[in-house]
Amino acid sequence: MHKTIIFDLGKVLVPFDFKIGYRALESACPYQAEEIPQRIAQTGLVELLEKGLIAPRDFVQRLSAALNLRLEYADFCRAWSSIFHGQLLADGFLESLAARYRMLLLSNTNPIHWEMIRENYPMLRYFHGRILSFEVHSMKPEPEIFRAALECAACRPEECFFTDDIADNVEAARREGLDAVQFQSPAQLEEEMSRRGIRWA
């Protein structure tokens, strides 16, 4: 019997599009939006930020230097967080699950994005705990972040249901003993939950 439901954040609860962020940065640097992701990747700074190994202001300063960005810190944060839009799972669905199960959020994210999510998504009130990569210094699909989630769940791995949009993360969760499925759509998720006897109103 399942006792804990663990959700990924991006593209499970909240859709996002990195291209929106690249276009927002484009107007403040000499590079086209299409060039920006490769230039960001070459710095290695995003993983450091998402593992909590670099402070947000240091990240912004170093990335701004790499991209020749002309943005104040607050303006950068708005552009960096502009990628999020809408919500994939209905409040009623989440609220009903939260009344029956322990609900956890497990996300690879960073302090800049998390601040925006925390301020703009009231659905977070349905979650009883969170495991964020920058707080635990580990990212999916690393085993350490799933072990942190199990500690927060306070139940056996097989009593946890986890969903994530990335197949590698699902496989990593299964290696730690969690019951995990790849998220494809709200309807598919409901079908997977129903098959396991997970109930909501």
In a domain, 200, yes or no: no
What pLDDT score was predicted for residue 83?
97
Instruction: Give the H/E segment covering residue 24.
Output: helix 18-26
Residues 30 and 109 in one domain: no
Residues 113 and 188 in one domain: yes
- Name, in order, each residue with C-beta under 8 angstroms of 138's C-beta and a sequence gap of 6 or more: 51, 144, 145, 148
pLDDT tens across 39-98, in order?
A: 999 999 999 999 999 999 999 999 999 999 999 999 999 999 999 999 999 999 999 999
What pLDDT score was predicted for residue 201?
85
Residues 23 and 68 in one domain: yes
Residues 27 and 125 in one domain: no
90 is in which domain, residue-wise? Answer: 4-15+85-195
Q: What CA–CA distance (Å, rounded) separates 84 from 159?
A: 31
Q: Is the pLDDT of residue 184 over 90?
A: yes
Residues 10 and 106 in one domain: yes
Residue at a domain's end among 52, 80, 108: 80
In a domain, 91, yes or no: yes
In a domain, 67, yes or no: yes
Residues 133 and 191 in one domain: yes
Query: Domain of 94: which CATH number?
Result: 3.40.50.1000
Torsion angle of the four alpha carbons 42, 143, 132, 81, in this order, in degrees rounded to the nearest 10: 30
Peptide bond into 141 cis (omega under 30): yes
User: What's the full length of the chain, in residues?
Assistant: 201
CA separation (Å) from 127 to 27, 69, 74, 119?
A: 37, 37, 28, 15
pLDDT tens across 108-163, in order?
A: 999 999 999 999 999 999 999 999 999 999 999 999 999 999 999 999 999 999 99
Residues 103 and 170 in one domain: yes
Residue at a domain's end among 39, 61, 80: 80
Query: Domain of 67: which CATH number?
Result: 1.10.150
Q: Are 11 and 70 in contact (CB under 8 A)?
A: no
The total number of structural domains in the chain stands at 2
What pLDDT score was predicted for residue 82?
96
Residues 185 and 136 in one domain: yes
Residue at a domain's end among 35, 50, 80: 80
In a domain, 187, yes or no: yes
- Name, in order, each residue with C-beta under 8 angstroms of 170's C-beta and a sequence gap of 6 or more: 162, 163, 164, 180, 181, 182
pTM summary value = 0.96
In a domain, 201, yes or no: no
